[in-house]
Amino acid sequence: MSAANIVDQSLVAYVKYLKNERQASAHTVNSYILDVSQFARLACNLDLQEKHLDWAHISTSIAKNYIAALQEEKLSKSSILRKTSTMRSFYKFLTREKICPLNPFAQLKGAKKERNLPQVMSINDVEKLLSAPLSYWSQLYSKEKPDRQASGQFIAKRDAAILEVIYSGGLRISEAVQLTFSELDLLSQTMKIIGKGNKQRICMLGAPAIRALKAFFKFRETYGYPNNSKGSPVFINLKDGKEISPRSIQRNFKHYLTFAGLSPELTPNKLRHSFATHLLEAGADLRSVQEMLGHSSLSTTQIYPHITPERLLEVYSKAHPHA
């Protein structure tokens, strides 16, 4: 479902707010549209692609019944919590715009979310993973396809660099693939990352990550892709020189896990979890780690103070195993 198919003007206005003020991604906007449309369908038996809904007449009782309906559908607790949060945010917008006098979801908490500890890799396992791309591609093309050794080395050095960067800076995979040369500063050992909600933060580059990047840059130049074009992506496809997709990295990541003898359930995001855990275990303070990860708070209500890049670099240098 897209915004173009919606006739309900309140939801249309909310979509504009998400795009223009919140600068939400297309994926996030679509998720909100689906959640609000599901509420209208379940709670009021109404299709927002065909009719308008009088949102001011939705009571707390109707909101509670909606949550009960979600529970009857055997949705996970996290899904119910997300959908309840969506409706609470939607009504917060409606009350702000004076479309509705009250927020019927204001006091409803939905299902209590189960807190699962993130899967974390040991430092030894991280080392195995980070060394896997070079060994994997070297072995793959050494005998069977010697004519593809050069292209295999390109992929190997690119993937080795991107994994080092993810672990070095605690990046999300989407943040790593979107990294451009204008955001990369090898001299100061930093990266300017554009995270969720278009929030900017400074992330660190350890010595192994810098070495891996420089090794990859030599191959970029060999294939005619310059390393000085400020707006161009750092991590590219060999065939067309365009930004590599997260899906490509995730696919290769599975090969590296198997090659290194690691759990197939691990994901690139587990490197980010490991980054944070290893720093904390080595004595880094929680607020610094939160800043490095791009989290403004530990909860939705607690905001941490800003920490300068100099302080982040000091903490990082002392605590990160690949600094």
Cβ of 23: how many Cβ atoms within 10 Å?
11
Closest CA to 276 of 211, 204, 210: 204
Closest CA to 176 of 239, 249, 120, 231: 249
142 DSSP assignment = S
Distance, CA of 51 to CA of 48 (rounded, Å) = 5
The separation between the first and the last C-alpha atoms of the chain, rounded to the nearest angstrom, is 46
pLDDT of residue 220: 87
Q: Which two tokens stand for residue 316?
A: 């990082």
Closest CA to 115 of 88, 83, 77, 86: 77
Q: The tokens 């490197």 sit on which residue?
A: 271
Distance, CA of 262 to CA of 257 (rounded, Å) = 5
pTM: 0.62
**Edge to edge, what strands does the sheet with 184-185 contain?**
184-185, 190-194, 200-204
Distance, CA of 232 to CA of 24 (rounded, Å) = 23
pLDDT of residue 145: 61
Q: How many residues can be counted in the chain?
A: 323
pLDDT of residue 316: 76
Between the CA of residue 16 and those of 91, 172, 194, what are the distances in Å? Answer: 15, 27, 22
Q: What is the DSSP code string of 136-203?
A: HHHHHHSSS-GGGHHHHHHHHHHHHHHHHHHHHHT--HHHHHT-BGGGEETTTTEEEEE-GGG-EEEE
Each residue's pLDDT, cut to its tens digit, for the chain (323 residues) gives: 555 577 889 999 999 999 888 888 888 888 999 999 998 898 888 888 888 889 998 999 999 998 888 888 888 888 888 899 899 999 999 999 999 999 998 887 654 544 555 577 889 999 999 999 999 988 887 665 656 777 888 999 999 999 999 999 999 999 999 999 999 999 999 999 988 778 888 999 999 999 999 999 988 888 888 876 778 899 999 888 899 999 999 999 999 999 999 998 898 988 988 888 888 777 777 777 778 887 765 432 232 234 446 656 776 787 788 87
Distance, CA of 264 to CA of 255 (rounded, Å) = 9
Tell me the H-state helices in 223-308.
Answer: 246-260, 268-281, 286-293
